[in-house]
Chain A
Amino acid sequence: MTGAATSSLYHYSDIPVADNCGDSLKFMDYELTSMPSDHNHVRPDGGIDALDPPPMDVMDEETLKPETLAQNAARLETIVQLLNHPALARVYVYVCYWGPVAPPEIMDALDLSKSTTYEYVDQLVDLGLVDRDDSTRPQQLTADPVIIVEQYVPIVITPTVLHALALQEVDEDVEYFMDRYGIGKLIAALRGAGLHFAGKTTQRMVATDIDVRETEAMMIIYALKPALAVGQEHDPFFEYLFPDVHDTMDLPDLDEISGAPARTSADR
């Protein structure tokens, strides 16, 4: 995607996603507009330099309106659901990248039972993360990419991050890392892996940066390669995680991998 989709990246903040999504959580709008100017402060360990404590004017009367808080609470809940349920996140990421897809395709691609597939799809539809078109047979599912960027914590969650998280369902190395270190360090490792494949850091430097054993860093860097390879082409928010190296990573060409998402879905 890197050409077309990244150059149109900022349009997402004011036109298509927000328009399409209405009130549902496809897009966390707070802090997003101020984020690009902070690209220089992304640390090699995946964090983004935090101002500590954040300036008082981060929160204002508008942000703190009870109705605004109530709305965002629902959005936050949705993302928390995904973060806490990697199997659910995996279905979401699949629909997001591979969609439009029908439930039987999800069953086949993800090795899920029919009942599990429909259970997850129903949950994702209820959460407002997946759209179901019942006018065709079989029904077609699509999902808009989500993003949360919060510069002060810092937090960055995009489909690539959810994909990395979801890999623990099928990859023992990601599962091991998550069990031992949790999602915060997984995101840091994801950022480190991207920097490594861009030639900007060695694997041992990543180990030091995120404070894990050298062999653990090596293991997780390779285990996260699928999330980077797909995300680089299909995550419209990839640049939020990798403002500096989004188009310079040396990753496998998806065209040569069977079952990769169709290229056109990147351009939607």
Chain B
Amino acid sequence: MGNDIPFAADQDVLVDANIFYAIGRPSNPQYRRFRSAIQNAGVICKLPQRVIGELGGANTDRVQAALNEGWATIIEAPSPTDGDAVAGSDIARRTIANETEQVEHEVEKTDAILAGLAIQYVRDRETTGVVVLTDDKPAKKGIEKAVRAQGYTDSIAVYGLADIIGDDPGDSMRLI
């Protein structure tokens, strides 16, 4: 399904850091499939600074590679201040706590904040739509619920890696 990507060139694609680890190193077929999907759609992955954290060290080289190749960029997304955005983060956090059976204050702030950032992004900009990409299942559920509860399903779509490059056909994993 590689070519059948669910977003268009005029959408803003906010990407969580985990996507860059789910696709593996640049030599991995999944990495190449993801890069082509992004480039074919004519979009650039926007990595909110507070979601990606500090880059540096060998473990972030694949993010750096995407930045260098120009299909990803780091953005300074404003903190959620809008009422809907703040409430969105709260809903995401509650949902993640529920999914993982943790108490709410144990939920990492960054896991929940992507929901708020996406809503804030829509509020601040004249954008056709925002796509949020994350491969973390509990976090994804949190963001989806926040978007639904706050009534942004028309402007914000949430996807996992499999939605972009299909299920892993098994050629990307070395078993041993």
| Chain A interface (Cβ < 8 Å from any Cβ of B) | 90, 93-94, 97, 109-110, 163, 166-167, 170-173, 176, 196, 199-205, 207-208, 213-216, 218-219, 221-222, 225-226, 229-230, 250, 252-253, 256-260
Contact = CB atoms under 8 A, between A and B. Distances in A.
A245 to B, nearest CB: 12
Contact of B175 (A207, A208, A229, A250): A229
Contacts of A252: 168, 170, 173
Contact of A225 (B58, B102, B106, B173): B173
26 contacts: A94-B176, A110-B176, A163-B176, A199-B99, A199-B100, A199-B138, A202-B107, A202-B108, A203-B139, A205-B102, A208-B108, A213-B53, A214-B53, A215-B21, A215-B60, A218-B18, A219-B59, A222-B24, A225-B173, A229-B173, A230-B175, A252-B168, A252-B173, A257-B173, A258-B170, A259-B175
Contact of B176 (A90, A176, A214): A90
A205 B173 contact: no
Interface of B: 17-18, 20-22, 24-25, 52-53, 57-60, 63, 96, 99-102, 106-108, 110-111, 136-139, 168-171, 173-176
**A interface, over-half SS:** helix
Given A201-B138, A252-B170, A258-B170, 20 more contacts: A173-B25, A201-B102, A202-B111, A202-B138, A202-B139, A203-B139, A204-B111, A204-B136, A205-B100, A214-B17, A214-B110, A215-B60, A218-B17, A219-B59, A229-B173, A230-B176, A250-B137, A256-B170, A257-B173, A260-B175
A166 B21 contact: no
What are the nearest 4 A-B pairs in CB distance? A204-B108, A257-B170, A218-B21, A256-B170
Contacts of A163: 176
B168 to A, nearest CB: 6
Contacts of A218: 17-18, 20-22
Contacts of A207: 108
B175 A226 contact: yes
B134 to A, nearest CB: 10
Contacts of B20: 218
Contacts, number: 102
A171 B57 CA distance: 17
A96 to B, nearest CB: 11
B58 A176 contact: yes
Contacts of A167: 176
Contact of A176 (B18, B59, B106, B168): B59
Contacts of A94: 176
